[in-house]
Amino acid sequence: MKVLIVCNRLCYGGAERVGATIANGLFGRGYEVYVVADLFMPVTYKLRPGIKVLNLYREGKGKYAKQLSSFKLLRSYLKQYHPDVVIGIMWLASLRALVAARGLHIPVISTVHDSFERPACAPMSRFEHFHKFVLNKLYNYVTVLTEADKKFIGSRLKHVTVMPNPLALTPVSFVADGRVANPAGEETIKEPFVLAAGRLDDWHYKGFDLLIKAWSLVKEKKDSEGKYWHLKIAGKETPESLDYLKGLCQQYHVENSVEFLGFRADIAHLMQQASVFVLSSRYEGFGLVLIEAMSQGCACVAADYKGRQKEIIGDSYNGILCPTEDVHALAEKMQYLISRSDERMQMQRNAVERSKLFATENIIDKWERMLSDVAHTNS
């Protein structure tokens, strides 16, 4: 079976990493896989040899001409390679695929990587609402991240499939309390810091302002062993977003205990070092980064948006849930894990085991079942 995956780029974002993981997983199952992406940008998510990678854009085009020409170029790929199905990663790639495949009788799957619900503080734009609830009616299949989203959609869209993001990282193993080993047998000692990760220009959506305020409320930053804890935030930054968040740190007098790490290609190793991971988002479709942190042995604190993170974390078993936008609750949960080493280490072990449910092999199984349904429906 031939599968063509359209992805805006192969770097930085979590959805883009998912696209690369799906491509690698399907290729490993014997599918003929093509990936179309912007190859003028850095490629940080590697694809397996044998996957044909095609550029979404032609060289030398102006900004708007480049965007328009991408539809024509993509259509030429569809005519040349005759895929059995096209998968779009996020709305723009899905829309490109839909337009390019018009009249070619090739089914298109739209993958949605954020929530169909939004809190009042981050309302959905008219265009986002149009894409999610109108444009998505045009696709053969739509994938959503959680059962909560599928329930919220109800009958408004056809052929909706829950497709959790696959875990691309291999879970670590614990060789001793506070020490983990990666698949190569390399050991890492858990260090006294709380980690958060996400693009800094998305600070409002990611709740990094809330996290900094909550960190200022953690009164006891020394644990029972006398180790002083820090908060580290990893993610691609802009000068404006970095200045704003550093200003918040100064405002709340935590500039000496908060560190901004920038984009980290070695995020897996960083998670192996971290003892605690925090997801502070005001809303989150699924939280792939949460599962990744769990797989690397982090005890996690997650702000649960309308039950979506509850599908990942069993509260107080493999992590701790708290309400969204509640800085006092967030601070309380971080303080709990800093102060209680035994509970923290047990949650770390439980988190690794829970993350295995989202292993790439399990999610690719679900993709294969859906692709089989698509092929049967369109045969």
Same domain, 58 and 138: yes
Q: What is the pLDDT of residue 282?
A: 92
| Whether the predicted pLDDT of 64 surpasses 80 | no
Same domain, 50 and 190: no
Same domain, 179 and 142: no
Q: What are phi and psi of 154, to 5 degrees?
A: 60, -130
How many independent structural domains does the chain possess?
Answer: 2
Task: Quote the radius of gyration of the chain (alpha carbons, Å).
Answer: 21
Same domain, 257 and 272: yes
Same domain, 77 and 112: yes
Same domain, 259 and 349: yes
Give the integer Cα–Cα distance in Å for 165 and 113: 8
Query: Which CATH number characterizes residue 87's domain?
Result: 3.40.50.2000
Same domain, 140 and 181: no
* pLDDT range class, residue 12, cuts 50, 70, 90: confident
pLDDT digits (tens, 9 = 90+) for 213-258: 999 999 989 888 899 999 999 999 999 999 999 999 999 999 999 9
Same domain, 349 and 363: no
| Whether the predicted pLDDT of 377 surpasses 90 | no
Same domain, 320 and 283: yes
Q: State the residue range of the domain holding 159.
A: 2-166+359-377
Sheet-wide strand order for 173-176: 173-176, 179-181, 187-189
Same domain, 100 and 207: no
What residue has token string 């959503």?
144
Q: What is the DSSP string of 238-303?
A: -HHHHHHHHHHHHHTT-TTTEEEEE--TTHHHHHHHEEEEEE--SS-SS-HHHHHHHHTT-EEEEE
* For range 124-149, the mean pLDDT: 92
Same domain, 152 and 186: no
Provide the whole-model pTM.
Answer: 0.83
What percentage of the chain exceeds 70 in pLDDT? 100
Same domain, 120 and 269: no
Q: Name the least confident of 29-43, 116-130, 239-253, 343-357.
A: 116-130
Question: Whole-number mean pLDDT of the chain?
Answer: 93
Classify strands 179-181 and 173-176 as parallel, antiparallel or unpaired.
Answer: antiparallel
Q: What is the DSSP string of 73-142?
A: HHHHHHHHH--SEEEEEHHHHHHHHHHHTTTTT--EEEE--S-S---TTSPPPHHHHHHHHTGGGGSSEE
pLDDT digits (tens, 9 = 90+) for 173-225: 999 888 999 999 999 999 999 999 999 999 999 999 999 999 999 998 988 88
